[in-house]
């Protein structure tokens, strides 16, 4: 990988080859072989391939690109969570110097926090996990397992989860709002103004607007209580 020394690097090389890092060097030294005519260069505008490569190498490049694309959201989320915990007070300035959207990163980070590495399913996309991130862990695992077994798309998983939630709240007496075709209800909840700052702060940490954050918290509590045996 070659960069200009700034956060948003414009070119990437496959495969990546590195020299041993010099003890007195503050940067990783990149092997000059990555600039040879046998390299595959990924720029912001496309892919540059050597004039002649074997079918197996061409296929391998596609597999690497596929892995990069499918893991990007997870990796960016993990990256932001690490920066938040390790470089408090500095990471936001660093993000501002990149081409990355902070709110999008916060959304990625919110999902990442809901799923440790061991709970992320390779057969499902980041989008699948995001659809159930607001649920309790048992509910997350249940729906992800079903999605994997039945080969559901993200849209199918979303529909099934919403139908299930709709059925659970069917006996609550809540009236469906304008979004009823999407399985949503509208609630008006009075709250003391003294708590609004705390709500905004909590929503911001989750990378969400207050209304979406409140809806997710409400669903989490409702589902958890529905699974708790009556005393």
Q: Over the stretch 93-117, which tens digit does the pLDDT of each residue have? A: 778 877 888 888 888 888 999 999 9
Residue 92 within a domain: no
Q: Is residue 43 in some structural domain? A: yes
Q: Which residue has the higher pLDDT, 175 or 48?
A: 48
Residue 202 lies in a domain: no
- What is the Cα 191 distance to its own chain's centre? 31
Residue 98 near residue 105, CB atoms below 8 Å: no
Specify if 38 maps to a domain.
Answer: yes
**Cα angle 16, 80, 144; round to 5:** 90
Q: What would the pLDDT profile of 161-200 be if each residue is shown by its tens digit?
A: 888 877 766 655 444 444 444 456 677 778 777 777 777 7
Rounded mean pLDDT, 11-35 = 43
Residue 28 forms part of a structural domain? yes
How many separate domains does the chain show?
Answer: 1
Q: How far apart are CA 63 and CA 79, in angstroms?
A: 23
Structural domain of 25 = 11-53
Asked whether residue 16 is assigned to any structural domain, the reply reads: yes
Res 37 pLDDT > 70: no
What integer is the mean pLDDT of 216-225? 71
Judge whether 65 lies within some domain.
Answer: no
Residue 156 belongs to some domain of the structure = no
- Grade residue 75 by pLDDT with cuts at 50, 70 and 90: very high
Which pTM value belongs to this model?
A: 0.58
| The two structure tokens encoding residue 73 | 């959201």
What's the rounded Cα separation, in Å, for the pair 226 and 222?
6
Find the mean pLDDT for residues 27-45.
Answer: 56
Per-residue pLDDT at 11 exceeds 90? no
Q: What is the pLDDT of residue 13?
A: 55
Can you tell me the distance from the alpha carbon of 61 to that of 191, in angstroms, rounded to the nearest whole number? 54
pLDDT-based confidence at residue 141 (cuts at 50, 70, 90): very high
């Amino acid at each position: 990988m070659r960069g200009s020394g700034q956060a948003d690097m414009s070119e990437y090389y496959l495969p990546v080859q590195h020299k041993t890092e010099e003890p007195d060097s503050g940067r990783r030294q990149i092997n000059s072989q990555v600039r040879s005519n046998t390299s595959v260069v990924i720029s912001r505008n496309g892919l540059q391939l050597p004039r002649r490569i074997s079918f197996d190498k061409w296929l391998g490049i596609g597999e690497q690109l596929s892995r990069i694309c499918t893991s990007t959201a997870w990796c960016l989320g993990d990256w932001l969570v690490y920066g938040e915990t390790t470089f408090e007070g500095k990471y936001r300035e660093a993000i501002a110097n990149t081409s990355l959207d902070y709110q999008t990163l916060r959304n990625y980070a919110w999902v990442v926090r809901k799923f440790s590495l061991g709970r992320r399913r390779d057969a499902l996309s980041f989008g699948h996990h995001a659809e159930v991130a607001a649920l309790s862990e048992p509910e997350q695992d249940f729906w992800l397992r079903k999605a994997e077994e039945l080969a559901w798309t993200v849209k199918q998983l979303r529909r099934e989860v919403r139908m299930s939630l709709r059925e659970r709240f069917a006996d609550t007496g809540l009236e469906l709002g304008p979004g009823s075709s999407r399985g949503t209800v509208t609630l008006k909840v009075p709250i003391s103004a003294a708590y609004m700052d705390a709500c905004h702060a909590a929503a911001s940490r989750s990378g969400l607007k207050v209304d979406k954050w409140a809806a997710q918290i409400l669903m989490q509590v409702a589902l958890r209580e529905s699974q708790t045996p009556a005393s």
